[in-house]
């Protein structure tokens, strides 16, 4: 596979891998089609299969010279009903249905709910949603051993279907025993991001942080109403956020999700941390080679909002048209970003700078890009924090992120507008300028006579020391001067 050209868009595409896409040749096609990062869903499959998938991605990374982010998504705690005498039962609309703690097969009138935590917090008037909200129960009485409900929406209930408790904070840990094993596996295999599912409270992030031991970045998945109530705290304690609209749409009314999506995107953008919009974006492309017009508008809306990344789930993991789904998302994103109103809309959110030198310089990059004809902003960074600051400003030109850390380069691959390059460290101002020019030419972000803005920190190699901004003009012979980067 030849070296990948610049994407020509700012928003990133995160594609979920699975049976339809983990084959090396299909992975190569997805990368060429426009995928910038890959999600490994640890809810399905085994460690051996996932490890092979990750090795395939890393081989492609080496082949193309493009850092690729891998997000390993933990399953999280799953609340489920027990089993039924005949494997399933039908609950009539308006009927009384009881959930209890008896370890016996259920029927049309009752079922076992093997989660004492729910019995401890549930109250009369609250809802219980079963099988992704297809069955909706309203609690009429509750005790330590029995929850009696009225079926507001009945239907067929079968073995071990999931239960959502939208109106109460259930005191269960965010990490199950399976999650702990999966997290250890993900860190061992070098995952760049860990997706923490069903976050309810800021404390849920602390345990994951401890187990990660400083490796990787933590993405909080917002899919519970309880998380929305403490959104600011959760964003502050995470490295990035995912708007997981699947379960969020189950526990909330559908019409509540779009404004909430915008709220989460905006609040996360203010921090400069990457925010991903996920779930059902091109759902019909699981089976169809073309999306619906509504799905196209949905993806476009997330791009207009300035989300860092948009995600494909089953479309690429198990669908019939994985490559076409990535190509479609890439096409939608490019079309939106070429819209003359895009820049205005993406800047409707005011992102005031913090009172630091690094933030002031990041904002200055935006001003220079809007005033002078430059091709790219070149950011030298060790931790990636300078890149996040510049990306938060949503400049009109791409941001080339040069870092000696491969781990930083991979994490930055999810950041809006960022083109990460893992390269040798620099030791002087002259070396920095020369390398910046070479890399701009080598990666297609400059030509002879074009200008670039370079941002870095002196002394070099010291995290958090960003204090330098320089505008350079690239000459045509820069590439000939040094090839050992």
> Which residue do the tokens 């009369």 mark?
124
Taken in order of first residue, the domains within the chain and their CATH numbers are 12-76+173-339 (3.20.20.60), 88-164 (2.40.33.10), 357-481 (3.40.1380.20)
Q: What is the mean pLDDT of residues 405-433?
A: 93
Question: Which of 4-13, 14-23, 344-353 is predicted most confidently?
Answer: 14-23
Of 68-77, 436-445, 476-485, where does mean pLDDT reach its minimum?
A: 476-485
Q: And the tokens for 457?
A: 């920190």
Of 8-22, 146-160, 185-199, 452-466, where does mean pLDDT reach its minimum?
A: 452-466
Could you report the per-residue pLDDT of 44-79, keeping only the tens digit for each?
A: 999 999 999 999 999 999 999 999 999 999 999 989
Active-site entry in 16, 268, 279, 408 = 279
Q: What is the mean pLDDT of residues 86-93?
A: 95
DSSP H/E element including 218: strand 217-222
Is the pLDDT at 352 greater than 90? The verdict is no
Is the pLDDT at 483 greater than 60? The verdict is no
**Helices vs. strands in the chain: H and E counts, helices first:** 18, 21
Of 96-105, 112-121, 469-478, where does mean pLDDT reach its minimum?
A: 469-478
pLDDT band at 257 (very low <50, low <70, confident <90, very high): very high
Residue of 474, 384, 396, 409 lying closest to 435 (CA atoms): 474
Is the pLDDT at 477 greater than 80? The verdict is no
φ/ψ of residue 80, rounded to 5: -140, 150
Residue 268: count other Cβ atoms within 10 Å of its Cβ.
27
CA distance 119 to 170: 9
**pLDDT at residue 1 in the model:** 57
Contacts of residue 255, defined as CB under 8 A and 6 or more positions apart, other chains included, come to none
Q: Tell me if the pTM is above 0.85.
A: yes
Share of the chain above pLDDT 90, in %: 85
Of 63-67, 378-382, 476-480, where does mean pLDDT reach its minimum?
A: 476-480
Active-site entry in 9, 221, 262, 273 = 221
pLDDT band at 435 (very low <50, low <70, confident <90, very high): very high
Q: What is the mean pLDDT of residues 470-474?
A: 91
Share of the chain above pLDDT 70, in %: 97
Is the pLDDT at 378 greater than 90? The verdict is yes
pLDDT band at 482 (very low <50, low <70, confident <90, very high): low
**pLDDT at residue 484 in the model:** 58
* More confident of the two residues 22 and 446: 22
Active-site entry in 7, 22, 39, 388 = 39
- Give yes or no: 29 in active site: no
Is the pLDDT at 195 greater than 80? The verdict is yes
Is the pLDDT at 118 greater than 80? The verdict is yes
Q: What is the mean pLDDT of residues 387-415?
A: 96
CA distance 312 to 14: 6
- Give yes or no: 181 in active site: no
- Give yes or no: 64 in active site: no
φ/ψ of residue 140, rounded to 5: -105, -25
pLDDT, mean over the chain: 93
**pLDDT at residue 246 in the model:** 87
Edge to edge, the sheet with strand 96-100 lists 110-112, 96-100, 146-153, 135-142, 127-130, 163-164
Q: What is the mean pLDDT of residues 371-399?
A: 94
- Give yes or no: 221 in active site: yes
CA distance 411 to 20: 25
Active-site entry in 32, 58, 78, 80 = 80
Could you report the per-residue pLDDT of 171-193, keeping only the tens digit for each?
A: 988 899 999 999 999 999 999 99
pLDDT band at 31 (very low <50, low <70, confident <90, very high): very high
Is the pLDDT at 461 greater than 70? The verdict is no
């Amino acid at each position: 596979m030849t070296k990948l050209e610049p994407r020509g868009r700012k928003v990133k595409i995160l594609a979920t891998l699975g049976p339809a896409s983990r084959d090396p040749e299909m992975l190569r096609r997805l990368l060429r089609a426009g995928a910038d990062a890959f999600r490994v869903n640890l809810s399905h499959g085994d460690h051996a299969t996932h490890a092979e998938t990750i090795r395939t991605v890393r081989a492609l990374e080496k082949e193309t010279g493009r850092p690729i982010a891998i997000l390993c998504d933990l399953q999280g705690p799953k609340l489920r009903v027990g089993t039924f005498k005949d494997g399933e039962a039908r609950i009539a609309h308006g009927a009384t249905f009881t959930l209890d703690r008896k370890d016996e097969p259920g029927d049309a009138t009752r079922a076992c709910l093997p989660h004492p935590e729910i019995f401890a917090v549930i109250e009369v008037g609250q809802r219980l949603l079963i099988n992704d909200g297809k069955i909706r129960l309203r609690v009429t009485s509750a005790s330590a051993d029995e929850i009696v409900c009225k079926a507001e929406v009945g239907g067929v209930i079968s073995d071990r279907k999931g239960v959502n408790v939208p109106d109460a904070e259930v005191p269960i840990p965010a990490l199950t025993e399976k999650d702990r094993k999966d997290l250890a596996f993900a860190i061992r295999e070098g995952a760049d991001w860990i997706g923490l599912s069903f976050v309810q409270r800021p404390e849920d992030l602390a345990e994951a942080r401890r187990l990660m031991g400083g490796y990787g970045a933590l993405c909080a998945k917002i899919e519970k109403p309880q998380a929305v109530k403490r959104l600011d705290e959760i964003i502050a304690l995470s490295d990035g956020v995912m708007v997981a609209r699947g379960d969020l749409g189950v526990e909330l009314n559908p019409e509540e999700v779009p404004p909430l999506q915008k709220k989460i995107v905006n609040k996360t953008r203010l921090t400069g941390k990457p925010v991903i919009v996920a779930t059902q974006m091109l759902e019909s492309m699981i089976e169809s080679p073309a999306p619906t017009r509504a799905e196209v508008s949905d993806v476009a809306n997330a791009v207009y909002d300035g989300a860092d990344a948009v995600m494909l789930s089953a479309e690429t993991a198990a669908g019939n048209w994985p490559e076409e789904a990535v190509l479609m998302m890439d096409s939608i994103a490019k079309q939106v970003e070429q819209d003359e109103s895009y820049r205005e809309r993406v800047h409707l959110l005011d992102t005031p700078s913090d009172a630091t030198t690094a933030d002031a310089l990041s904002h200055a990059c935006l001003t220079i890009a809007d005033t002078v004809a430059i091709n790219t902003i070149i950011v030298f960074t060790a931790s990636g924090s300078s890149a996040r600051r510049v990306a938060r400003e949503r400049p009109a030109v791409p941001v080339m992120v040069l870092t000696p850390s491969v781990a930083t380069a991979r994490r930055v691959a999810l950041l809006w507008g960022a083109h990460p390059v893992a390269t040798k460290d620099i030791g002087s101002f002259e070396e920095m300028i020369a390398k910046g020019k070479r890399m701009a030419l080598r990666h297609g972000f400059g030509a002879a006579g074009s200008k670039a803005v370079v941002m870095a920190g002196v002394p070099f190699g010291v995290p958090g020391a960003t204090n330098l901004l320089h505008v350079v003009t690239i000459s045509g012979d820069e590439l000939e001067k040094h090839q050992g980067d």
